Each structure stands twice: as structure tokens, then as C-alpha cells.
């Protein structure tokens, strides 16, 4: 698996996410993901399947030192009496003593960025996570997080796919040495159905979904994939044996539209960058 390094964190470029998966789906698909070569797994407290992921990894005898585990603290736990306790609960559910990466899930509108980062720094200082990062932050929030954090912010995990232009955020992150992790890469099913991506994929013997993932990878994103079907796992990881041409990359980038953003919950999402 290819990796990306950000402030000392060596992150597998392709990760396996378990958003909107039941416990049964997680425990069924994770062994297939491990067998296919995935070692980067991404979950969150709000997904309510951390325990299922922990059970699945343990049952598969996955070596902890070979894994890169990420989870995210939910906004309801952004308080001094809940933050660290919630991380301890996540560790217990995941059956591990430490995380590789701990993220703030959403900025929200109730707790200041500086207070969020202070609590994140504290759990890192306590040895609960090797690296820290954020998720769903705009450029100004990311810059503030970087400025107030005692240790480096290694990633900002955000929605990213062929229909959403994240150029401004990517530029700011690159200037700070921060990796951008892409979620929702299939744009809620639009990518696999896209005729342009299907046509480009046919030239390489690949599916439109694989083209969408490859586009993200070649644009420098750490990329999260997802499937609840074990038989589809190999397709998700089989994206390192071809390279999109410059013309293909440009054509795909033109798919971005002003209405391309799909995930923006009120009270959680910030004012997005234009």
C-alpha cells in the first residue's frame, strides 16, 4: 500500500471506512478488507460501530502494529468532563491501547476551536493517540487549529469527490504540510453512474468508481473507500496499477459544480469556502 507522510504520520493513502454500516456488515466485510490489503481503517463515535470494528480486527488476528486506526470525537463530547472519557470508551470498543489518528468530527457552533484543540492535545499528551487531526473544517478554522495546537495537525478529513472543487482548502493544507483525507468519494452513488467516468474507465479496463478513486489519489488526497459487500472490496483497492493522463484528470475536474457539496448539516458544518 502506498503511503503519505504528514508531520511524521505515515498514512496509507487508501483507507477503509465504515460509515453507515451495521455491526453485522462491519464484521462480515473487514476480514475481506484485510485479505485484500487494507490496513487503514476509519470509524467514528457517532457511527456506533467502533466495537464491531474492534471485534472484527481482533477475530482476524490483525497485527496492531500493521494497522492505522482512526476514529473521531463526536461534538456532544466536546466538554472537559466528556472528551477524554469518550476517547477511553472508543479505545475499549476498538480493543486497543492507542489510536493512530484521532480527529475532531465537526467544528460545530457551540465550542470554540481553541477549546476543542486543547482537549485534543490533552488526550494525545496522555498517550491515547499517536497523531491528531480535524475534520470538516474550512480554511480559517484549519489555520486556527494549526496555530493553537501544541503538536502538528496531520490531516483535515473532508468531503471530496469529482463534483466538488476543494482547490482552496487543498492549497492551504499543502502550504501547512497537512494531508487532506477525502470522504464521500463516490458522491452518494453518483460517481459509479457517471457516463464520463465510465467512458474514461473503459480506456483503462476500470470501473467509473475506480476512476473516481484514482482521481482523488492523483490529486494528493488520502482517500477513504467503503463497501459493505466483501465481493466488492478488491475493486476498491485495485486502483494502484493505472494512472490517469493529464487530459483525463482535467476532464474529470470539469465535473465540479457549485452545487457539488452533499454533506453540510446545520449546526455542525462551518461557513464553507467558496
State residue 274's pLDDT score.
Answer: 77
* Mean pLDDT value across residues 98-127: 98
What positions carry a catalytic annotation? 47
State residue 101's pLDDT score.
Answer: 98
CB 67 within 8 A of CB 39: yes
- Predicted confidence (pLDDT) at residue 245 exceeds the cutoff of 80: yes
pLDDT band at residue 63 using 50, 70 and 90 as cut-offs: very high
Q: What percent of the chain has pLDDT over 70?
A: 100
Q: Tens digits of per-residue pLDDT, 12-57? A: 999 999 999 999 999 999 999 999 999 999 999 999 999 999 999 9
CB 200 within 8 A of CB 252: yes
* Mean pLDDT value across residues 73-83: 98
- Predicted confidence (pLDDT) at residue 258 exceeds the cutoff of 90: no
Distance (Å, rounded) from C-alpha 216 to C-alpha 224? 10
Q: What is the fold of 3-186+221-228?
A: TIM Barrel (3.20.20)
Nearest to 223 by CA among 233, 231, 215: 215
Helix axes 208-218, 195-204, angle to 10 degrees: 80
Altogether, the residues listed in the chain come to a count of 274
State residue 111's pLDDT score.
Answer: 98
State residue 202's pLDDT score.
Answer: 98
HSE-up (13 A, CA, CB side) for residue 201: 21
* Mean pLDDT value across residues 73-97: 98
Mean pLDDT of the chain: 97
* Mean pLDDT value across residues 191-216: 98
Residue the block writes with cell 468531503: 159
Amino acid at each position: 500500500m502506498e503511503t503519505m507522510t504528514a508531520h511524521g504520520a505515515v498514512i496509507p493513502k487508501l483507507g477503509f471506512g465504515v460509515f453507515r454500516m451495521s455491526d453485522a456488515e462491519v464484521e462480515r466485510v473487514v476480514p475481506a478488507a484485510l485479505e485484500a490489503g487494507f490496513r487503514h481503517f476509519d470509524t467514528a463515535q457517532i457511527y456506533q460501530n467502533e466495537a464491531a470494528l474492534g471485534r472484527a480486527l481482533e477475530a482476524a488476528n490483525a497485527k496492531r502494529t500493521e494497522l492505522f486506526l482512526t476514529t473521531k470525537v463526536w461534538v456532544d463530547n466536546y466538554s472537559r468532563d466528556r472528551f477524554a472519557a469518550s476517547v477511553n470508551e472508543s479505545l475499549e470498543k476498538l480493543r486497543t491501547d492507542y489510536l493512530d489518528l484521532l480527529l475532531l468530527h465537526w467544528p460545530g457552533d457551540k465550542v470554540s476551536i481553541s477549546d476543542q484543540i486543547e482537549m485534543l492535545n490533552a488526550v494525545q499528551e496522555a498517550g491515547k493517540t499517536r497523531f491528531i487531526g480535524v475534520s470538516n473544517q474550512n480554511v480559517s478554522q484549519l489555520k486556527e487549529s494549526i496555530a493553537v495546537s501544541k503538536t502538528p495537525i496531520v490531516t483535515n478529513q473532508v468531503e471530496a469527490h469529482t463534483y466538488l472543487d476543494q482547490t482552496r482548502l487543498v492549497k492551504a493544507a499543502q502550504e501547512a504540510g497537512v494531508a487532506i483525507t477525502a470522504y464521500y468519494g463516490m458522491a452518494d452513488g453518483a460517481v459509479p453512474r457517471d457516463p464520463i467516468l465510465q467512458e474514461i474507465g473503459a480506456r483503462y479496463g476500470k470501473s467509473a468508481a475506480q476512476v473516481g478513486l484514482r482521481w482523488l489519489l492523483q490529486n494528493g488526497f488520502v482517500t477513504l473507500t467503503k463497501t459493505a459487500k466483501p465481493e466488492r472490496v478488491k475493486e476498491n483497492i485495485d486502483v494502484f496499477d493505472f494512472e490517469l493522463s493529464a487530459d483525463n484528470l482535467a476532464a474529470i475536474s470539469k465535473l465540479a459544480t457549485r452545487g457539488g457539496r452533499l454533506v453540510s448539516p446545520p449546526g455542525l458544518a462551518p461557513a464553507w469556502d467558496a
